[in-house]
Amino acid sequence: MTAGVRATARIAARDDGRGGTSLPVLEGDGPLALRRTRGVGSEARVMLVGAMSGPLGGDHFTVEAAAAEGARLHIGSAAATIALPGQAKGESRYDVRLKVADGGELCWLPEQLISANGSDLYVSSRIELAAGARLVFREEQVLGRAGEEPGRLSSRLTVRLGGQALLDQEVTCGPGAPGGWDGPAVLAGHRALGQLLVVRPEFADVPVQARLLGEYASLMPLAGPAVLVTALASDALRLRRVLDDVLNSLSQDL
C-alpha cells in the first residue's frame, strides 16, 4: 500500500502599523504552495496554488490561517481542488483551520472542490472567531466531473464566535452516504452545493431578514451577527452566480 501525502500550509496576518497587513508567516509544503498577490486597500491577499494533483486516497492536507487584530486577510485558490482516487486506499482528508481576532477580518474564497468518481474525501472546517471578528467563508462542492458519477464526499463545518457555538453542520454525499442524499429532500438531483457564511458586527444593529433566493437557495440569520446562505445548482457556474449575487447584496446593504 502506498502511503498518502501529508502537507500543511500556514498563514498569519497582522496589522503592519502603516495602514496595511503584513504576513509574518506564509509557508506551505508539498502540494500546498502559497503566493502573495496584489491586495486591495489594507488587505493582504494570498493565493493557494496546488503544486500537484490531489488530494488523492490517503492524503491529508491542512490549511491554517489566522488574522490578528486590525489585519485583513483574503485567501483564494488558483484553481479548483479535485479529489481523486489515487493508488493508496482509504479516505483522504482536507482540514481548514481559521482563526480571527477581535477587529480582524478574514475572507476564505477558494475555487470549487470537485469530488471525482472513486474518490473518498472528508473535509473538516473549524473556525474560531473572537467577538468583533469579521468573516466571509465560501464553500462550494461539485459532485463529479462532467458526465461522471461522484465519489464519496463528507464535509463538516463548525464555527465558534466569542467562545460560543455559532454553527455546526455536516453533510455526506455519494456512494455509501445515508440513503436519500440525492432525493427531493436533500439535493433533488443537483450536482453543485454551496454555502456562504458572513459574520459582521454590524448585523447586530442591522439584522438581515430571512428570505428565499430562488427555488433552491435561501438566506438565514444565525443566533449572532451572522447570516448563512445555502444553495443548490445544476453546475458550478450557476452556484457561483447565486453566492456572488447575495454577497454583493449584503455588502451594499451596509
Residue 233 or 186, more confident = 233
**H/E element, 232:** strand 226-233
- The band of 252, judged by pLDDT with boundaries at 50, 70 and 90, is confident
Residue 254 has pLDDT above 60, yes or no: no
For residues 65 and 72, give the distance between their C-alpha atoms in angstroms, rounded to a whole number.
Answer: 12
Rounded-to-integer distance, Cα 134 and Cα 71, Å: 10
Percent of the chain whose predicted confidence (pLDDT) is above 70: 97
- Answer yes or no: is pLDDT of 42 > 90: yes
- In whole angstroms, give the CA distance from residue 48 to residue 154: 22
CB atoms within 10 A of CB 121: 29
Confidence of residue 177 (pLDDT cuts 50, 70, 90): confident
pLDDT at 1: 43
- Evaluate if residue 87 carries a pLDDT over 90: no
Which of the four pLDDT bands, split at 50, 70 and 90, describes residue 51? low
Count CB neighbours of 214 within 10 A.
Answer: 12
* Whole-number pLDDT of residue 168: 97
Bigger pLDDT: 2 vs 42: 42
Residue 34's pLDDT is: 96
Does position 2 have pLDDT exceeding 70, yes or no?
no
For 122, other C-beta atoms within 10 Å of its C-beta total 19
253 or 198, greater pLDDT: 198
Using CB atoms within 10 Å of the CB of residue 13, give its burial: 0 to 12 exposed, 13 to 18 middle, 19+ buried: buried
Question: Would you say residue 236 has pLDDT above 90?
Answer: yes
| Statement: residue 18 has pLDDT above 90 | yes
Task: Identify the three-state secondary structure at position 38.
Answer: coil
What integer pLDDT is reported at residue 52 of this predicted model?
Answer: 61
pLDDT, the chain, mean: 92
Give the cell for residue 34: 502559497
pLDDT at res. 179 = 75
Phi-psi category of residue 200: left, alpha or beta, with phi > 0 → left and psi -120 to 50 → alpha: beta
Of 122-136, 171-185, 193-207, minimum mean pLDDT range: 171-185
**How would you classify the pairing of strands 81-83 and 113-115?**
parallel
244 sits in the region (left: phi over 0; alpha: psi -120 to 50; else beta) called alpha
pLDDT at position 53:
67
